Structure 1
Amino acid sequence: MPDVRGRLRGPVALVGALLTVVLLAAPAGGAVPAGPAPLESIPTFDVVLTLRTDGILQVRETITYDFDRGGGHGIVRRVPFRHADRLFDVRGISASSSTGAPARARTLKLLHDVRISVGDGRHKVTGRQAYVIEYDVAWAFTPYADHDELVWDAIGTSWDVPIANAAVRVEAPMPLRHAGCRAGNPGLTTRCARDRDGPYAVDFTQSGLRPHEGMTVRVRLPKRAVAVAAPRYAPPHWAGTWPGTAALALALGAVALAARRPVPRRGTGGVLLACGALLTIADAGDDVLAHGPWAFSLGDRCAAGLAMMIMGAAIACARRPGSAQLAAGAAGED
Structure 2
Amino acid sequence: MPEVRGWFRGPVVTAGMLLVTIAFALPAHATSTHATPTHAAPEPPPVAESIPTYDVVLTIGSGGLLHVRETITYDFDRGGEHGIVRRVSYRKKNRLFDIRDVRTSSSTGAPARAETAKMLHDVQISVGDSRRRVRGRQAYVIEYDVAWAFTPYPHHDELLWDALGGDWDVPIGEAAVRVEGPVPLKRVTCHAGTAQSSTRCLRDRDGPYAVDFTQRGLRPRETMSIRVSLPKGAIEVPPPHYARPHWQGSWAGTAALALALGAIVLLARRPAPRRYAGTALMALGAVLIAGDLADDIVVRGFWAFSLGDGCLAGLALVITGAAAAWTQRFRAREHAAVTGLGD
TM bin (shorter chain): 0.7 to 0.9
What residue is the counterpart of 2:278 in the other structure?
Answer: 269
The secondary structure found in structure 2 opposite 1:218 is: strand
Q: Is the 8 A contact 1:38 1:70 kept in 2?
A: no
Give the structure 2 partner of residue 109 of structure 1: 118
The amino acid of 1:203's aligned partner reads: D
Q: State the 1:196 CA deviation.
A: 3.6
Report the Cα distance in structure 1 between the residues aligned to 2:232 and 2:225, rounded to whole angstroms: 22
Per-residue deviation at 1:263? Answer: 2.5
Query: Secondary structure at 1:298's aligned position in 2?
Result: coil
After TM superposition, the structure 1 stretch with the greater mean CA deviation from structure 2, 269-278 or 249-258, is 249-258
- Asked if 1:120 is matched to 2:129, the reply is yes
| Alpha-carbon distance in 2 for matches of 1:324, 1:259 | 14
Corresponding letter in the other structure for 1:277:
A
After superposition, the C-alpha distances for 1:135-183 in whole angstroms (9 at most, x for unaligned) are: 1000000000000000000010111111111110000111111000111
| Paired position in structure 1 for 2:254 | 245
Q: 1:302 aligns with which of 311, 328, 337?
A: 311
Matched position secondary structure for 2:276: helix
Aligned equivalent of 1:332: none
Q: Residue 46 of structure 2 contacts residue 77 of structure 2 at CA under 8 Å; is this kept in 1? A: no
- Match of residue 196, structure 2, among 187, 208, 224: 187
Specify the code of the residue in structure 1 equivalent to 2:247. Answer: W
Q: CA RMSD in A?
A: 1.9
Within 5 Å, which residues of 2 pair with 1:1-334?
Answer: 35-320=44-329, 324-325=333-334
Comparing 140-149 with 203-212, greater Cα deviation is found at 203-212
Which amino acid is the alignment partner of residue 208 of structure 1?
G
Deviation at 1:326, TM superposition (A): 8.1
Q: Distance in 2 between matches of 1:308 and 1:34?
A: 63
Runs of 4+ in 1 over 2 A off after TM superposition: 32-38, 321-324, 326-329
Deviations 1:24-47 (A, max 9, x none): xxxxxxxx9755334111011000
Aligned mates of 1:261, 1:323 — CA distance in 2? 13
Percent of pairs identical after alignment? 64
| Structure 2: distance between partners of 1:290 and 1:75 | 29
SS at match of 1:266: coil
CA distance in 2, matches of 1:256, 1:328: 23
**Secondary structure at 1:309 match in 2:** helix
Structure 1 residue identity aligned to 2:217? G
Please tell me the residue identity of whatever aligns with 1:212. R
CA separation of 1:318 and 1:70: change in aligned 2, threshold 3 A = same
Paired with 2:270 and 2:89, the residues of 1 have a C-alpha distance of 52
Distance 1:327 1:193, change over 3 A: farther
Query: Quick check: 2:61–2:182 contact (8 Å CA) kept in 1?
Result: yes
Deviation per CA, 1:257-310: give whole Å up to 9, x if none.
111232211211011100111111111111112222221111111111101100
Please, which runs of 5 or more residues in structure 2 have no aligned partner?
A: 1-40, 339-343
Between the aligned partners of 2:164 and 2:188, the Cα distance in structure 1 is: 17
Show the counterpart of 1:15: none
8 Å contact kept, 1:147–1:222: yes
Per-residue deviation, residues 31-68 of structure 1 (Å, max 9, x unmatched): x9755334111011000000110110000000000003
**Kept after mapping to 1: 8 A contact 2:273/2:327:** no
CA deviation after TM superposition for structure 1 residue 123, in Å: 1.1
Bigger radius of gyration, 1 or 2? Answer: 2
Shift of 1:75: 0.3
SS of the residue 2:297 aligns to = helix
CA distance in 2, matches of 1:197, 1:328: 85
Deviations 1:47-103 (A, max 9, x none): 000011011000000000000322111000011111111111111100000001011
- TM-score w.r.t. length of structure 2: 0.84
- Number of equivalences: 299
Task: Provide the C-alpha distance between the structure 1 equivalents of 2:99 and 2:274, rounded to a whole number of angstroms.
Answer: 52
8 Å Cα contact 2:272-2:331 kept in structure 1:
no
Q: Identify unmatched segments of 5+ residues in structure 1.
A: 1-31, 330-334
